[in-house]
Structure 1
Amino acid sequence: MHPSIPGTTPDTSSTTARSHPKHLKRFIIGSVAVLSITGLVAGGAFAVQSAADSRERVAATRALTDSTGLQRDQLGAYAGIAEAHTDKTASSTLAEANQVLASTEGKADASALTAVSSSLASFESMPIDLVVELTIETQTETAALSAAAAEADRVAAEAAAEAAAAAEAARQATLATTNTPAGAKAFAQSLASSNYGWGSDQFSCLNQLWQKESNWNYQAYNSSGATGIPQALPGSKMASAGNDWATNAATQVTWGLGYIKESRYGTPCAAWAHSQANNWY
C-alpha cells in the first residue's frame, strides 16, 4: 500500500496515465500543463500511483486552484468547455475554407489551403493544441487565397474592360466609315456578293434604287415614316437586323438586302424595275 497523504485519496486506478496516454489526449486548459487526474478508470479496475506522483498531482492541483480560484471539478468542466469551443472554431474554420476553395477554383493556387484544411478535417481526434495550431494556419491560408482570388478578379475585370473599350473603339471606327454614303455602298456591294451571290449588274440596280430612295443616307427620313437607306416603313422593322438600326448604316443595309431577297422581287434589279414603274418598291 502507498502511504496515505492527508487530504487525499490513494490512487487505485489499474492503469497509469503513462501507459494509456490516449485517455488524456485532449485535456488541456489554455497554456497550463495537462493535469494527471487520479482515479482514471481503465478496464474497470484501478491501479495505485506512487506516493511521489500523488504528491506532485496534489501540489499541481492545489497550485492551479490557488491561481484560478477554481476547484478541481470546476477545472474539469472548464477543460470541457475549452475543448468544445476549440472544436466549434475548427468546424466553422473548415466550413469557410471549403467555401473559399469552391468559390475561387481556378483563380489562384489553392494547394496550401487544400493541404492544411485536409489535415484539420480530423480535428475531433487530435490533441487540442494541434487543433488550435491547424485552425490558425487554415484561417491564414483562407485569407491568403481569398486575397489572391480577389486580385485575379481585379486583373480579369481590368482586361475585360480594356477589351470592351478596344471593341467599342473599333466599332466606332467602322461606323465612321460605313455611315458615309461611300462606306455604305462599299459594305452593301460586299454583302450582296458574299451573302447572295449578286454581282456588279445587280449592285448597279441596287445603287440606283437606294440612290433614289435615300441618297444612301442612313439618317434619311420621309414624312410617311419611311426611314434609313432602304426606306423601311416603319423604320423599326430594321430592328430584326440589329438594335442599332437607327444609327448604323451597316444594319440598315443588312436588313434592306434581306428584304429584297425575301420579298416578291428576289433581286435588286427586279426591285428597281418595280420602283421605276410605280415609284415605290
Structure 2
Amino acid sequence: MSRISVRGFAVASATAVTAVGSVVGVASGSTAQPSNDAEATASDSTLLADIPTGQQAQVQTASLTQQADAQAIAADASAKKDAEAAARKQAADDAIAKQKAAEKAEQEAKERKAAQEAASRSATRDASSFSVKSSYTTAQIQAMARQMVPSGQFQCFSNIVDHESSWNYKAVNASSGAYGLFQALPGSKMSSVGSDWQTNPATQIKWGLNYMNSRYGSPCEAWSFWQANSWY
C-alpha cells in the first residue's frame, strides 16, 4: 500500500470519527462546531501514527507484502537471465565438443585407411619378382596384377585396363602412339620403373599402379575420374 493510500485511509477514518461526533452533538442538543483537533486529524498531514493500532498492522502488512512481491519478481527475472546465459554457454560448449569429436573421427578414419593401404601394399609382389617370359596370356597378366594391386583396389584397376587396352600389353594407338596396358603417352614414360616396359607386363602394371596412386590417390579414385571424363 502506498503512502497516499495510507494517508487516504487515515483521512477517511478521521472523517468517520468527526461525523460520529457531530451526530452525538446534535442528539444532545449541542450546536457546537467540530473542534480544530478533529479537522487537523482529517487533514492531508495525517500520519500512520494517527491510525488505530490494529489498522496500522494491516497497513504495514500490506506494504511488506508488496515489497516481497517486488523482490520475488526481480529475483525471478535475474534467475531467468542467468539460466539463459548458462544455456547459451552450454550450447556453445556442446558445439565445440561435437566439432572436435568429428575432426578426431575423421583423422582416425584417415589413419586407418592409410594403415590398411600400407599393409596391403606391403603384402603385394613387386614386378621384379616375376620371371620374364617371351609372351603372356591375358589370364597370366591379370594374375600378375592381382598379386601386385591391393585387393580392395583391383576391380577399379581392372576396369581402367579393360577400357584402355583390353589387357593387351602390346596395344598401340595408331593415331597417338600411346602404348601398353595403360596407353601411356608416350610409352617410354614407363621406363621410369623398368627398361623392359615394352615386353614385360609386370613392369607396365607397376608403372600404372604408381601413376594412379600418385595422380589420384588410388586406382578407385582414378576410375571415378575416368568414368566422369573417359580418360585419366
More helix by share: 2
- The higher-RCO structure (CA 8 Å, 6+ apart) is 2
Give the structure with higher Rg (CA).
Answer: 2
Please confirm whether the aligned pair reaches a TM-score higher than 0.5, indicating the same fold.
no
Q: Please classify the TM superposition score into its range, dividing by the shorter chain length.
A: 0.3 to 0.5
